[in-house]
Amino acid sequence: MAVKKGNEMSEYEQARQEKIAKNQQLLQQLQLDAQQTGIGPKSKPKPQQTSGQKRKRPVEKVKKEDAGPRRTSARLQGIVADSEVARQKSEADAEAYREQEKAKRQRVSEDINLVDAVVNGRTWDKAGNWLTAFGPANPGERTFTEQHIKDTSDKELRQLRERMSNLQLWEGAEPNRIKITPERIYSLGFHPNQEKALVFAGDKLGNLGLFDASQTAPQEVKQEADDADEDGDADDEVEPAISTFKVHTRTISAFQFAPNDANALYTASYDSSVRKLDLEKGQAIEVYAPEDKAADAAVSGVEISRTDPNMLHFTTLDGAFGIHDLRTPAHETVELLQLSEKKIGGFSLHPAHPHIVATASLDRTMKIWDLRKISGKHDSRSPHLVGEHLSKLSVSHANFNSAGQVATASYDDTVKIYDFSSAATWSPGQTLSEEEMEPATIIPHNNQTGRWVTILRAQWQMQPQDGIQRFCIGNMNRFVDVYTSKGQQLAQLGGEGITAVPAVAKLHDSMDWIAAGTASGKLCLWQ
Whole-angstrom Cα Rg for the chain: 29
> What's the pLDDT score for residue 54?
43
Q: Exposure string (b/e) for 284-309, b if CB count within 10 Å is 16 or more?
A: bebbbbbeeeeeebbbbbbbbbbeee
Low-confidence residues of the chain: pLDDT under 70? 1-8, 30, 33-83, 98-108, 116, 120-135, 217-237, 378
Rounded to 5°, angle at Cα 353 from 347 and 359: 15
> What's the pLDDT score for residue 246?
94
> What's the pLDDT score for residue 127?
47
pLDDT digits (tens, 9 = 90+) for 292-332: 888 888 999 999 999 999 999 999 998 999 999 999 999 88
Asked whether 220 and 270 are in contact (CB, 8 A), the reply is no
Give the number of C-alpha atoms closer than 13 A to the C-alpha of residue 154, restricted to the C-beta side.
Answer: 7
CA pseudo-torsion sign 285, 194, 506, 217 = negative
The torsion region of residue 121 among left (phi > 0), alpha (psi -120 to 50) and beta comes to left
pLDDT digits (tens, 9 = 90+) for 146-183: 899 888 889 999 999 999 999 999 999 999 999 999 99
**Cα distance between residue 304 and residue 326, in whole Å:** 10
> What's the pLDDT score for residue 92?
76
> What's the pLDDT score for residue 28?
77
**Cα distance between residue 487 and residue 456, in whole Å:** 17
pTM of the model: 0.75
CB atoms within 10 A of CB 464: 19
Contacts of 420 (CB under 8 A, 6+ apart): 350, 356, 368, 404, 405, 406
Instruction: Report phi then psi at 116, rounded to 5.
Output: -85, -15
Residues in a beta bridge with 185: 203
**Cα distance between residue 323 and residue 337, in whole Å:** 8
What pairing do the DSSP bridges indicate for beta strands 207-212 and 198-203?
Answer: antiparallel
**Cα distance between residue 69 and residue 96, in whole Å:** 7
CA pseudo-torsion sign 238, 244, 250, 255 = negative
Cα→Cα distances 140→149, 459, 477, 479, Å: 19, 23, 6, 8
Residues in a beta bridge with 249: none
